[in-house]
A and B are shown apart, each in its own frame.
Chain A
């Protein structure tokens, strides 16, 4: 796991690591290795069709991880554990508003983004104004959302995706690629632009690296942080709509797995949990890498619980390296 080697100047002394300092490069190498391994285990694993299928699943995760990435970049233990709840909420809301009718798609999108934005706003206000640690605030929010969904829906599948949405997600849309992949590419371009070509992006990195210095340089620290939580929930809401399109109908717990996997995708992609460095390109690679791992585990007939164990261990392993980089900096 050389992926987590932080791009710290202090680390550049260790010789082999120098070449693996770029997490993006490492992620791509691992992706290729995993594809080869998958193909060896079960021929057809690395076929174009199968890769496309994996990319669709990765896109769903990648969109959630975009928001997670922003919150983590903002530093001060920034993390959003409520994304899974927002994904579920959005999927259920979208399904019920659409009710299988194309004419309702726009309304559904607006409702979901508004609901997501509201959840994120509450998260952000709790963290910045009331000083609740992000971990506690968003975990509490997750509990509230899950409880709410169970109370409303009693665990029964509900709502129906509009046919146009379902087609957008899984059928070829443009140049033989499904719409969801184009959406993911658009999210990727948007994130890259936001982070690298706008003053907001500069401010996000600034508060993540040295919040006090950013404050003394006139950055509206609280306002930016609230915005990050709001964006995170809106990305999760967007992913929720797509997941409805992917699954056709929605369950109250459809988004549960995204909490852990979105964090792993971000960390795999080279953004340390301490924030202030990294970016979304790595996270995109991280999301695909994670989905590949998941698929290989499925090929090896390891069930859902087994996969969760592997993911949990992966995250702990990554954090072990993250902890080390922090100690070095101190």
Chain B
């Protein structure tokens, strides 16, 4: 009898399916790895197990008995505890208090038993003593810790729950090698004690190091589950992609050969900063350079750094043969950069103001305009909107009255009034409809053909493969592989993204 048995678990958020048919069999004394592409549903499945997401259907059996979980507390009472990827620490409390957060030891009267709290905290800190690094003690407030130390505290807190089923959702993203080794030796001890561990990681080497069994999820459905010694990297990646996708990756006609004698306009060498390590590339006019890899590996950071919105600490940036150092978006815009963010609510849309006001800022800046007469402005703004097929009633209408796709078009039109040399696209199609997406990419290709240099990051791998001439795969802040021409396939993209620097 399995310790935990999930069958055909499904979960819907309005029209989107987060999980279509999630299956999972978890044995006692097993380390079970879950893997799948971004948004495949593995985090949702974990949250179902931990009781923080209520499934819309399916079978959930714990030790052979069907159960329904009413929240994470109920799950913990049944011996299930989840390590949260986005961390769930109380920042102003100490390390010791955070470790004990799930089970505060109390005296009879309900007061916290400080001595017991300290003893328990020390017990878990001891396990990591060699790798916690400097300025770390039981009394340190969590807010003063480094990111890797915070992650260790979250791990200790999860361990301190003493749960029988422990779920770790990307617990090692901020840890270094020795910390990971220490953590893995603890996981093996737990396994020996007969506890069950669900482990999510994107690092192939780690997975083959620790897993007993690996289950692959694709598009919300469990597609395979194999013992680790009966599988290999290529098989896993093929499972993640799915056979039908294998040939779907489009290869543009020998794009890089054309680029070989093209005019290089941007050259970056050894760029460094928070989240960026030794990034170098060159970008030619007319080229669409794709940035690939897992979420948050530095792609967006690179774009924001080029645009002057994040600080560049080391490295050189050469624009048309001239060294530049954009210190603010304003400076970057004057140099010829432009930036379109997928998070248009945060970075793009001037909320509640008219379409005209939303399109005009770059025109004002680049043409040094002070007067803003609508009749004059509309002559600049209307063609920009028209080139994107933007649907709107009048320039005076509020941008909030438009659909997401049209709002994004308005934001992009802002840059087309005074075309930039370099267009930085930071996941530009996030949350917009399919027709707007294809219109947008058609425009991007047209701009490239007209000589604009474009860097595109997309969280959708198929977009990236279809629309970029060349792809830089990011891994932990640096470029791990460049995919050009025939190499630009989904398989290679996944392999580079998941198995790290080669």
Contact = CB atoms under 8 A, between A and B. Distances in A.
Contacts, number: 83
B370 A200 contact: yes
Given A209-B352, A209-B353, A216 B372 contact: no
Interface stretch (A89-97, A104-112, A217-225, A306-314): A217-225
A76 interface: no
Contact of A220 (B330, B373, B414): B330
Interface in A272-302: 276-277
B436 interface: no
Contact of A199 (B329, B369, B401): B369
Contact of A210 (B307, B350, B365, B401): B350
Given A199-B370, A199-B371, A215 B329 contact: yes
Contacts of B371: 197-199
Contacts of B357: 202, 205-206
A42 interface: no
A219 B347 contact: no
Interface in B328-387: 328-330, 333-334, 339, 341, 346-353, 357, 360-362, 364-365, 369-373
B173 interface: no
In the complex, which of the residues A199, A217, A276 has the most CB atoms of chain B within 10 Å of its own CB atom?
A: A217
B361 A212 contact: no
B316 interface: no
A199 B341 contact: no
Classify the interface of chain A: helix, strand, loop or mixed: helix
Given A197-B371, A199-B372, A218 B351 contact: no
A9 B369 contact: no
In the complex, which of the residues B341, B349, B350, B362 has the most CB atoms of chain A within 10 Å of its own CB atom?
A: B350
A212 B348 CA distance: 8
A213 interface: yes
Nearest to B307: A216
B352 A277 contact: yes
B352 A276 contact: yes
A213 B349 contact: yes
Contacts of A198: 370-372
Nearest to A197: B372
Contacts of B329: 215-218
Contacts of A214: 350, 361
A203 interface: yes
B398 A9 contact: yes
A133 interface: no
Contact of A202 (B334, B341, B361, B400): B361
Contact of B330 (A9, A206, A209, A218): A218
B174 interface: no
A209 B334 CA distance: 23
B309 interface: yes
A277 B398 CA distance: 12
Contact of B348 (A9, A202, A216, A219): A216
A218 B363 CA distance: 10
A197 B370 CA distance: 9
Contact of A209 (B350, B365, B369): B350
Interface string A74-87: 00000000000000
Interface in A32-67: none
Contacts of A206: 350, 353, 357, 361
Contacts of B353: 205-206, 209, 276-277
A199 B347 CA distance: 20
B406 to A, nearest CB: 15
A202 B359 CA distance: 11
B280 to A, nearest CB: 25
Contacts of A212: 346-347
Contacts of B361: 202-203, 206, 214, 217-219
A216 B309 contact: yes
In the complex, which of the residues A197, A206, A215 has the most CB atoms of chain B within 10 Å of its own CB atom?
A: A206
Contacts of A210: 349-351
B351 A9 contact: no
Contacts of B341: 216
A201 B309 contact: no
A199 B364 contact: yes
A9 B400 contact: yes
A218 B327 CA distance: 12
Given A201-B372, A206-B361, A218 B348 contact: no
A206 B359 CA distance: 11
Nearest first, the 8 closest Cβ-Cβ pairs linking A and B are A217-B361, A199-B364, A218-B333, A218-B330, A218-B365, A209-B351, A206-B350, A209-B350
Interface of A: 8-9, 196-203, 205-206, 209-210, 212-220, 276-277
11 contacts: A197-B371, A197-B372, A198-B370, A199-B369, A199-B371, A202-B364, A212-B347, A213-B351, A216-B339, A218-B362, A277-B353
Given A197-B372, A213-B351, A216-B347, 11 more contacts: A9-B398, A9-B401, A198-B371, A199-B369, A199-B372, A202-B372, A205-B357, A213-B349, A215-B309, A217-B350, A277-B352
